Amino acid sequence: MADASSPLPPYLEADIAEAARLLHRARYAIALTGAGLSKESGIPTFRGEGGLWTRNGEPPMNAYERFLMDPAAWWRERLDETGQKNNELAIAIAQAQPNAGHLALVELERAGYLRCTITQNIDNLHIAAGSERLLEIHGNRTLLRCIECDARYRPEMVPTEELPPRCDRCGGIVKSDTVMFGEPIPRRVLRACFLEAERADLMLVIGTTALVMPAADLPAVVYRHGGTLIEVNVEPTVLTPYCAVSLRGPAGTMLPRLVEAVTEHAGREPQFRGVGLDARL
């Protein structure tokens, strides 16, 4: 596979040029990222060849229900250092660094082309790369969250002498920010994601098979409102027939090339700069 600096086939160069043209003229462009982007940073996927669940079996589909039955037991298991040392996903996330795809999205954001990134990933790599206009639809593994008021905390902010820990704002039970199976996505985040999709006239769909709901509905919202979809993926997906352009390759190669192509469009400043998400969350 070509890296970000090696020549690409002419058809791919043409696809990147077309994607850059569409992105350059977009009024409100957003991105949706999935596990394929994190895989390029060494974080294993869950499904598919070599995936954690493919090798080890899927986790219980009622994980949140089980948590609510005995949150103190969940916390005792979480605080067990022996168990954490053998957690393949936790080890991979701790060692992972943002890749060129993450950094390219930050460049697009800072240049004013990308208004928001919605990620299904829980690994914190978008934040580590410098993304500021970010919505984490499945949560962030490095944070904790109150299940009542959705307040988010860094782990060092939450005392664990008494289990389960309680929110200092409302007294609710605190758990990991990661959304468990059977757990509703926090309303505030879900509403913001769909608001962004409704406002967008272009979405970059990066490293996701677009099968996991409700995130899979977001490209459909953009498309139904007459927006353009640009796919970045190593394999075709269910979205491919609906995409104006499909950049067939890893995000770490395709997205830096897209940034280069967008910046080659001279004579026009990006329309939007410095607009955050706070007012919409």
Q: In this structure, which amino acid lies at residue 246?
A: S
Q: In this structure, which amino acid lies at residue 66?
A: R
Q: Quote the CA–CA distance of 58 and 278 in Å, as a whole number.
A: 36
Specify the pairing of strand 29-33 against strand 202-206: parallel
**Residue 214: is the preceding peptide bond cis (ω within 30°)?**
yes
Active site residues: 138
CB 93 within 8 A of CB 43: yes
Strand order in the sheet with 228-233: 134-136, 114-119, 29-33, 202-206, 228-233, 245-248
**Residue 186: is the preceding peptide bond cis (ω within 30°)?**
no
